[in-house]
Amino acid sequence: MIATTLGHWALTLSLVISIYGLVASVLGARQRVPELVRSGRNAIIAVAGLATVASACLLFLLLTRNYQVKYVYDTVSSYLPTIYVVSAFYAGQEGSMLLWMWLLAIFGAVVVVRKRSWNEELLPYVAAVVAGVAAFFALLLVNMSSPFELLPMNPGEGLGLNPLLENPGMIYHPPTLFIGYAAYTIPFAYAIAALVTGRLGSGWVRGIRLWSLFAWLSLGIGILLGAQWAYVELGWGGYWAWDPVENASAIPWFVGTAFLHSVMMQERRGMFKRWNIVLATLTFVLCVFATFVTRSGLIQSVHAFGQSPLGYYFLAFLAVVLGLVISLMLYRREEMLSTRQIRAFLSREFSLMVAILALVGIALAVLLGTLYPTLAELLTGRQISVGTGFYSRIFSPLGAAAMFIIAVCPLLAWGQSSSRRVLHALVIPALVALAFGVALLVAGVGPGHAVFGFSMCLFVLVSILIEFGRGWLARKRMTGEPYAVAFLRLVNKNHRRYGGYLVHLAIVIMAAGVVGSSVYKTDTTLSMRPGESVPVQGYTLQYRDFQIQPLPAKQRFAVTLDVSRGNRYLGAMVADKNFHWNVEQWVTEVAIRPGLVEDLYVILSGLDESGLATLAIQTHPMVTWLWIGGGILLFGTAWAMWPRSRERRSARRTK
Amino acid sequence: MATLLVVLMILVVLGFVGYPLLQGIRELEAPALPDLETQEAYADVEDLELDFRIGKLDAEEYETLRCSVTPEADDEIERRVRALRAQRKQKRAARTEAAAPGRCAQCGASLDPDDLFCSRCGAAVSQERVCRHCGTRYDEGDRFCVKCGKPL
């Protein structure tokens, strides 16, 4: 078979070439041999090309449904829609690793091709690190989990994708996450390059600004898409269940958020050089960890370690990375001292430091909770599970602290601020939040911690809006421009500041959604016969009809309900529950009526021949706020990444 | 067929990666460090300025921070201003030279008093009456310059 041979050889060759690229780049840079450096650069581009060839081969095998290839047999079947055949590319461990490597090689190629004068000296080492990581993945792909492995004969039909994965979420969620994971290799590569060359100033930080924002955004959006997917598929416990696979993707995001903020400290203040190296490394390592956790089942059970050597490869990789970083940091410990110190508590430096600590704290707590069952099983042999209670106890106080810092930090100036001024700036948000909280309590909305959560969100929201307003008025006063012009010019002159504020705004909106949806969720289980009408949570549900229907891939059970509120007819909702033949498994398709205040969420639990249906009717308040916040997050980050006109001009000049 | 493709792929990759080794490249260009520090210093000053205008800092705090935090920026801005001034001076000098009396304002070639167009670049000669020795304006009918006394 041409495609398997070609794919296999492309991977083998990319292993050889990436090892060569690593050696050539390092030797070339150390001995100052430009030919070798250039050749190492070409090696990265060649690996990107080879990984593309291998990916194209796998895609071709999937699309032509060549079941003799084990990976295709495992993930595709003849009645799987084509779009999910494409998504089967990353449904298994082999394909995921290929996708990782492909994205990494592409990003690496973009970095080496788009060179700038200030990173000339760093670049060979960046290329070397990218080549090294690519070599690791190529080694795994060639040596132990090849997507091109053949079965002894062609089975004629494949097992197919797990029906739970047949959801639009499968198309968007994994690739977005993987883009984030792979992109975090670039900041790590720059960190190593900075350590090796000793150029620990702001040059390397500058090289990764866009990359770290891009990776952070992809990871964040990927997580949200996953949450949305979990929300619409039943049995995964709403949008977030703190399960190990979800946690694994959230941990690097928290550390990455801390990294974004500590980078700012180095760029503007020459501080936190060590933190930046550590956080860049941690984020990268956690991204690789997340990939392994998701695809190898390492965390669910320690036994997975024994079953495949993948875990040992990962541990070896981890040891190499950490050993390298720690020894380089020891070697460069003198150069990493800060040029400035934090001078005052009421300064942006100090509040950023607290924010970074809080974020790393959250990440560590989640990591601990995720690993604890595995470690406990390893040590004591007993199975323990860490429930949602642990996470909410950890997360609520740290989250509230983080929110408070979001409100205060932008009010503080670099260097120092006077307490009078800061208090003055906080008076209005605090009064508004207090009034809101009291009003909620008087109106009988409880419980106390939810009211506190909402008030906190409002406090932050008002302080961000005031911050926008003050900048706006200041600009208006300074320039005398009309209001609209002044506003647009203000946010356009300072993309990073105002993009950042927008992201903070998005976080606040999402936090309010989290508080609302976790506190006020309602759940009613009832049985209905066709034609019956039942009032639930202010809605009236009228059972219209039902369907029991055999389809090629599944047996379909469906109930149609007419929903109205008061006298207003809201529409029909169809709740499905299907039995899939190939995996002999029930999959529930929830009916959701989204709204700003609350989503109506109908689960079909059972349906018999007579039409007697057992339904779970739930309301999920404010879940939509999460998705709205996600949209603002996307926009705000894109705004912060957008180059300013001066940077665009200077980029043109240097060309 | 498969073997052929694999061999072709190997050859292309080896050629691409090995080519720079055969080619020989001049010594690595010394990295020209652009005004990275300047840009950061600018950003510092801009931020301070905005914080001051917004009222996060009072005048005194602003001044201390402005001096302590951004001497680099100040130096840099001063240097730039000086450079710009020098540039402007040069330009002005060039322009006045070009517009010297008796010379074409466009290209600086010398003109005869009654030329309507420059003999070198073809630009129309200004019809304004100006003494070609000292550049002072004169009225129609004047025969000597009121400033230098030379015949017009």
User: Do B86 and B115 have their domain in common?
Assistant: no
Please give the Cα distance from B58 to B63 (Å, whole number): 9
Contact A257, A305 (CB under 8 A): no
User: Do B89 and B106 have their domain in common?
Assistant: no
Q: Which amino acid is at A245?
A: V
Residue A622, CB half-sphere, CA atoms under 13 Å: how many?
17
Please give the Cα distance from A121 to A127 (Å, whole number): 11
Distance from CA of B63 to the nearest CA of A (A): 12
Using the Cβ of B127 and the Cβ atoms of chain A, whether some distance falls under 8 Å is answered with no
The per-residue pLDDT for range A343-361, each reduced to its tens digit, is: 777 888 888 899 999 999 9
Residue of B nearest to A409 (CA): B56
**Residue B84 placed within a domain:** yes
pLDDT at residue A224 in the model: 92
Q: Do B5 and A477 touch (CB under 8 A)?
A: no
Contact A151, A69 (CB under 8 A): yes
Nearest in space to A240 (alpha carbons), one of A645, A620, A635: A620
Query: What are the beta bridge partners of residue A613?
Result: A528, A607
Q: What is the ipTM of this complex?
A: 0.74
The per-residue pLDDT for range A140-191, each reduced to its tens digit, is: 999 888 899 888 888 888 888 877 788 888 889 999 999 999 999 999 999 9
Give me the phi and psi of A554, to 5 degrees please. Answer: -160, 165
Distance from CA of A137 to the nearest CA of B (A): 19
First to last CA, chain A: 46
User: Do B73 and B50 have their domain in common?
Assistant: yes
User: Do B44 and B94 have their domain in common?
Assistant: yes
Q: Which member of B5, B25, B54 has the closest CB to residue A471?
A: B54
Give the residue, B115 or A123, on which the prediction is more confident.
Answer: A123
pLDDT at residue B71 in the model: 57
- A654 confidence band (pLDDT: 50, 70, 90): very low
Q: Is the peptide bond before A594 cis (omega within 30 degrees of 0)?
A: no
- The rounded mean pLDDT for chain B is 73
CATH topology of domain A522-621: Tick-borne Encephalitis virus Glycoprotein; domain 1 (2.60.98)
User: Do B87 and B38 have their domain in common?
Assistant: yes
Q: For the purposes of burial, counting CB atoms within 10 Å of the CB of A493, is it exposed (0-12), middle (13-18) or buried (19 or more)?
A: middle
Task: Give the C-alpha distances (Å, rounded to integers) separating A644 from A62, A649, B38.
Answer: 43, 9, 15
Using the Cβ of B143 and the Cβ atoms of chain A, whether some distance falls under 8 Å is answered with no
| Domain A1-166 and domain A522-621 have a common topology | no
**Residue B14 placed within a domain:** no
**Residue B6 placed within a domain:** no
- Best mutation target among B33, B56, B62, B65 (most A Cβ atoms within 10 Å) is B56
Token pair of B114, please?
């009654």
The per-residue pLDDT for range A273-324, each reduced to its tens digit, is: 888 999 999 999 999 988 887 766 666 555 555 566 777 888 889 899 999 9
Give me the phi and psi of A581, to 5 degrees please. Answer: -65, -45
Q: What angle do CA A486, A490, A495 make, to 5 degrees?
A: 155
- Best mutation target among B3, B22, B28, B62 (most A Cβ atoms within 10 Å) is B28
Q: Which amino acid is at A106?
A: I
- Best mutation target among B51, B52, B66 (most A Cβ atoms within 10 Å) is B51
User: Do B46 and B90 have their domain in common?
Assistant: yes
Please give the Cα distance from A380 to A367 (Å, whole number): 19
Residue B131 confidence (pLDDT) above 80: no
pLDDT at residue A234 in the model: 63
Chain B residues within 8 A of A475 when measuring between CB atoms: 53
Nearest in space to A296 (alpha carbons), one of A308, A284, A283: A308
Burial A273-302 (b: 16+ CB within 10 A, else e): bbbbbbbbbbbbbbbbbbbbbbbbbbbeeb
Residue B117 belongs to domain spanning = 101-152
pLDDT at residue A293 in the model: 79
User: Do B68 and B111 have their domain in common?
Assistant: no
Contact A352, A265 (CB under 8 A): yes
Give the residue, A447 or A17, on which the prediction is more confident.
Answer: A17
The per-residue pLDDT for range A466-521, each reduced to its tens digit, is: 888 888 888 888 888 888 888 888 888 788 888 999 999 999 999 999 888 888 88
First to last CA, chain B: 93
Burial A411-438 (b: 16+ CB within 10 A, else e): bbbbbbbbeebeeebbeebbebbeebbe
Helix/strand/coil for A48: helix
Nearest in space to A622 (alpha carbons), one of A489, A453, A486: A453
Nearest in space to A250 (alpha carbons), one of A366, A170, A355, A172: A366
Please give the Cα distance from A113 to A126 (Å, whole number): 12
User: Do B80 and B115 have their domain in common?
Assistant: no
Token pair of A505, please?
């705004």
Please give the Cα distance from B103 to A317 (Å, whole number): 77
Query: What are the beta bridge partners of residue A523?
Result: A618
Q: For the purposes of burial, counting CB atoms within 10 Å of the CB of A406, is it exposed (0-12), middle (13-18) or buried (19 or more)?
A: buried
Please give the Cα distance from B145 to B129 (Å, whole number): 11
Nearest in space to A424 (alpha carbons), one of A373, A455, A463: A463
The predicted model scores a pTM of: 0.83
Q: What is the mean pLDDT of residues B115-144?
A: 75
User: Do B152 and B108 have their domain in common?
Assistant: yes
- A328 confidence band (pLDDT: 50, 70, 90): very high
Please count the structural domains in chain B. 2
**Residue B45 placed within a domain:** yes
Residue B124 confidence (pLDDT) above 80: no
Query: What are the beta bridge partners of residue A548?
Result: A557
Token pair of A320, please?
């190499």
**Residue B25 placed within a domain:** no
Helices (H) and strands (E) in chain A, counts: 21, 9
Q: What is the mean pLDDT of residues A199-204?
A: 79
- A337 confidence band (pLDDT: 50, 70, 90): confident
Using the Cβ of B50 and the Cβ atoms of chain A, whether some distance falls under 8 Å is answered with yes
**Residue B15 placed within a domain:** no
In A461-500, the residues whose Cβ lies within 8 Å of chain B are 467, 470-471, 474-475, 477-478, 493-494, 497
- Where are chain A's structural domains? 1-166, 173-330+348-371, 418-518+628-653, 522-621
User: Do B44 and B85 have their domain in common?
Assistant: yes
Longest CA–CA span in chain B (Å) reads: 98
Contact A41, A108 (CB under 8 A): no
Query: What are the beta bridge partners of residue A614?
Result: A527, A606
Please give the Cα distance from A247 to A368 (Å, whole number): 10
Look-up of token digits 């080496």? A112
- A20 confidence band (pLDDT: 50, 70, 90): very high
Q: What is the mean pLDDT of residues B110-134?
A: 74
Q: Do B23 and A35 touch (CB under 8 A)?
A: yes
User: Do B149 and B109 have their domain in common?
Assistant: yes
Chain A residues within 8 A of B23 when measuring between CB atoms: 35, 38
User: Do B116 and B151 have their domain in common?
Assistant: yes
Using the Cβ of A518 and the Cβ atoms of chain B, whether some distance falls under 8 Å is answered with no
Q: What angle do CA A315, A321, A327 make, to 5 degrees?
A: 125
**Among B98, B123, B141, where does a domain finish?**
B98
Nearest in space to A514 (alpha carbons), one of A269, A156, A238: A238
Residues in chain B, overall count = 152
- B36 confidence band (pLDDT: 50, 70, 90): low
Give me the phi and psi of A570, to 5 degrees please. Answer: -95, -20
pLDDT at residue A61 in the model: 93
Angle between helices B2-23 and A2-31 (to 10 degrees): 10
- The rounded mean pLDDT for chain A is 86
Q: Quick one: DSSP state of residue A190?
A: H
pLDDT at residue A443 in the model: 85
Q: Could you say which of 1.10.3470, 3.40.50, 1.20.120, 1.10.3430 is the CATH number of the domain covering A1-166?
A: 1.20.120
Distance from CA of A397 to the nearest CA of B (A): 28
The per-residue pLDDT for range A366-419, each reduced to its tens digit, is: 998 888 887 787 787 777 777 778 888 888 888 888 888 888 888 887 777 777
Percent of all residues in chain A with a pLDDT value above 90, rounded to a whole number? 35
pLDDT at residue A187 in the model: 94
Give me the phi and psi of B18, to 5 degrees please. Answer: -85, -20
pLDDT at residue A44 in the model: 94
The per-residue pLDDT for range A70-118, each reduced to its tens digit, is: 999 988 888 888 888 999 998 888 898 999 999 999 999 999 888 665 5
Torsion of CA A248, A251, A253, A257, to 10 degrees: 180
Burial A332-357 (b: 16+ CB within 10 A, else e): beeebeeeeebeeebbbbbbbbbbbe
Q: Do B25 and A34 touch (CB under 8 A)?
A: yes
Nearest in space to A100 (alpha carbons), one of A62, A149, A125, A135: A135
